[in-house]
Amino acid sequence: MELASMSDVARAAGVSAATVSRALRGEPGVSDATRRYVTEVAERMRYAIARDASSLAGGRRYAVGVLTAEGGRGDLLAGAEAALRDAGYDVLLYVLRDRAAFFERLPPARRVDGLVALGVTLSADETGALAGLDVPLVEAGQDDPHDALRVAADHLVSLGHRDVALVLTEDADESYDDVLVAAGLATRPEWTLWSSPTVAGGEQAVEVLFDGGGRPPTAIVTAHAAVAIGVLLRLRRDGRDVPRDVSIVSLDDCELVRTVGVTAVEGAWRDRGARAATSLLTTLGVRAPDTAATVRSLVGGSVAVPGGRV
């Protein structure tokens, strides 16, 4: 038993293939009754369109290529995939290993309608090579976590925290303090630190925050997951209880922080991927389904009211 083709459906429905095509794609020029009937017949026959043929005839491929780095973030990818699939696009995955070879051979050539680069920073030459494919390209990854910080700050404030320290990684700027201020928090210069995006960076940040003579914060927000882990480890080693003595929030949500139990702002990375995909879809003229629905909330157990019990 072969899979049903469009002409099979047409025959079964007693119409022409063109009508089936129009009906199924929601094209105008088909009566409601016909469209309904054809749709029903197609479903009953479990008809699945042959994209190859469709692409060949229509010129559009209904596929986008997603470029990721080896060891890239899975949630970035998942977010993009979700948005693309919801829009009816196939997702061709390209994991960049041998970059030179990739940009030389350009495997996505003639295979995709657009490209999304997720968490890979493209050089000018590489961007130029991709331009040869003659399809739109969207890059994601340079986005900043202001939104996530907003969520975290609001939550901490609602719990009564007033003394919140911020451990940023190198690519951040002072504008993050503004978010804290907007949330109703007082900022202090010594509570905004920069560290390397590593566990060691987090450990050092704790030293700075608690060794100086100043008042120690009741909560620490980190921009990077590894830093959050470092903060946690150092606080514990110093005999401080998390979250009783100090709360921790990671703006960077990943398997790592979840497993260790650090509270993180959820969905930030998924969002980025989805936004990139949506942006590309818009360029492609597709009215992309709303992405705003992504949940952004806190998960984890490293946050409590300041100085008290949970």
Partner DNA sequence: CTGTTAGCGCCTTCAA
Partner DNA sequence: TTGAAGGCGCTAACAG
- In sequence order, the 6+-apart residues with CB closer than 8 A to the CB of 117 are 67, 137, 138, 139, 140, 141
For the segment 253-292, give every residue that binds a copy of itself (CB under 8 A): 254-256, 259-261
Task: With H, G, I as helix, E, B as strand and everything else as coil, classify residue 259.
Answer: helix
Nearer to DNA, 38 or 153 (CB): 38
Binding at 283: pick from a copy of itself, DNA, none (beta carbon under 5-8 Å per type): none
* 16-45 footprint of DNA as x/- string (CB under 7 A): xxxx-xx-xx-xxxxx-xxx----------
d(CA 199, CA 253): 15
Tell the smallest beta-carbon distance from residue 215 to a copy of itself (Å): 27
By the rule CB under 8 A, 225 interacts with a copy of itself:
yes
Binding at 101: pick from a copy of itself, DNA, none (beta carbon under 5-8 Å per type): none
d(CA 192, CA 169): 11
Q: Are 299 and 253 in contact (CB under 8 A)?
A: yes
Nearer to a copy of itself, 121 or 158 (CB): 121
Nearer to a copy of itself, 75 or 177 (CB): 75
Binding at 158: pick from DNA, a copy of itself, none (beta carbon under 5-8 Å per type): none
Binding at 31: pick from DNA, a copy of itself, none (beta carbon under 5-8 Å per type): DNA
Name residue, tokens 């929601």: 26
- Find the helix packing angle between 17-25 and 32-44, rounded to 10°: 90
CB under 7 A: which stretch of 55-63, 121-129, 145-153, 223-231 binds DNA? 55-63
* 189-218 footprint of DNA as x/- string (CB under 7 A): ------------------------------
Binding at 67: pick from DNA, a copy of itself, none (beta carbon under 5-8 Å per type): none
- Report residue 279 CA to chain centroid gap: 13
Q: Are 138 and 79 in contact (CB under 8 A)?
A: no
Residue 144 exposed, middle or buried by CB count within 10 Å (0-12, 13-18, 19+): middle
